[in-house]
Every structure is written in C-alpha cells, then in structure tokens.
Amino acid sequence: MKQILLVTGRSGSGKTSTLQVLEDLGFYTIDNLPLSLVPEIVNKLSTDPAMDQLALGLDIRNLQPDQISIDEVLSELRKIGTVEVLYLTAREEVLVSRYASSRRPHPLVHRFESLTECIRVEEELLYPVYRRATLTIDTSSKTVHELRHTLSVKLGQGDKLVVILQSFGFKHGIPLDADYVFDLRHLINPHWVNELRSYTGLDQQIQDFLSADEMVNAMYDDVHQFLEKWLPIFSQGHRHFITVSLGCTGGQHRSVYFVDRLAKALQAKWSVQVLHREMKHWS
C-alpha cells in the first residue's frame, strides 16, 4: 500500500519548503497538480514499487471547485493506499510579512484588490479542505529545521536518521553527493569468473561467492562497525540524512552486495534507502 500525503494550506505558509523536506525524507513529490488529475497520476505511479511514499502539493488554484471534489479525490486515493491531508497555516500578519519580503504575488491577486483580502478569502475557500485535514502545522514561528523536525515526528519517523546506501562503479565516476566513500576494488571480483559475470550483487550466486571470502567479510565488518559506531553520533548532531557510497570497478557485483548486506543489517535501527547508481549499466 502506498503512503499518500496531500500537502495544502494557506499560500505563504510553507508548502514549497514542506515538499522539499518531504523529498529529503524519502517522498516522491509533485507540486501544483490540478485536482482532477490527481487520481489518474497516482494510479500510474502506483505500479512503481520504488514510489511507496507520495507527496502531492495542492494550492488554492488546484482546489477551486471544477469537475471533481476533494472528497471524490480522497475516495479514489484510498483505493490504492493510506491518505493523509497535511494542512499548513500561519498567522495573517506572518503571511503578510512573508509576501512583503518575497515580493511574490498571492495566487488570488487578480481577483481581489488587497493582499489582506486575498488571504482572508483564501482561508474561507480552503475551509472544506481544512476540515478534512489529518495533520495541521502552524508554521508562523518555525524555521525550516523546526519544520523538518515537526514533519518527522508527525509522520512517525521521529528524529531517526535517514541512511542512504549507494553502490557505484569507479569507472563511471565518484558520486558527488556522498558523505562517505568506501573503495571495494581490492576485494575478489566475480567479474573474472565467467559463470558469475552476468549476475549482480543481489543474486544469491554472487552473495555466496563473496560471503565465502575472508577479506570480503573483514571489510564488511569494518564498514558495518564504523556505521554502527558513528550513525548515532550523526543523528545526535541533528543530521537528517547521510549518504554512504560503496564503490567497486563497475558497480554491479561487490558494491551492490555490500549495500544489500548493510541495508539488511541497519534497517532495524535506521530508516534506510538503497540506490544502485549503475543499474542501467548492468548486463
């Protein structure tokens, strides 16, 4: 079942920042979809197993009554997953101040004469959605870091660090987004065993081959112990995600095996995301 989060609320209350935070927390985000297209888009995405968490941004322009109501949308979405409606709000004077500093126009600016009138009318128009909200956050005094913490708690992740484990091949370049890089090229290479070459580190044949090697296990133990020791420290330092990249020559066997093995070991304590960068190159 998908976890679907509809993100809406008063313009200027932080929807864009919220979607960026949700993306960091592992959600696949889409902003400003017309309400009538939401069920169709989500139905298409529902077949992708990599998109278990979806966050859809809706503002007053999307939520104007047209061909479909918010209740119809929620009914359709609940057929394919659990649905939460996150409503963002802020005090009127805060919204006025934010618009003054950003100098961006309010979405209703072409319909009403003053910013204050736009803000008040929008609140009335959004009331039916507000009544259906399952999560409400007042961003009036929140920094982006405080918003991230609030979202983590409300969405059930708490302050758990998100650990991104990434396999890659050095011949395709070192990933620029890595916090830590471990080089596995010195380990025994299944590529040079003809009957193993076509497999990947996710296949049992490769896993059996590598796990039987003493040096592979010693390297794994060192990396695992390093992460077990330091991840709690990173988490206490208010880190919300960290990328650990493990590389071999081509990114198909050793690095993939290490990422898979580490993910299984760490997922009991941490929120783990797995990325195999070179999957498109696998034979």
Residue ranges for the known binding site for ATP are 9-16
User: Which residues make up each annotated binding site?
Assistant: 9-16, 59-62
- 103 DSSP 8-state letter: -
With contact defined as beta carbons under 8 Å apart, do 161 and 270 qualify? yes
Concatenated DSSP letters of 88-143: EE--HHHHHHHHHHH-PPPTTTTT-SSHHHHHHHHHHHTHHHHHT-SEEEE-TT--
Instruction: Give the phi and the psi of residue 27 in degrees, each rounded to 5.
Output: -85, 145
Residue 127: CB partners within 8 Å, gap ≥ 6?
Answer: none
Which amino acid is it at 161?
L
Tokens of 180: 């830590």
Strand, helix or coil for residue 54: strand
User: Which residues make up each annotated binding site for GTP?
Assistant: 59-62
Per DSSP, what are the bridge partners of residue 169?
Answer: 248
What's the length of the chain? 283
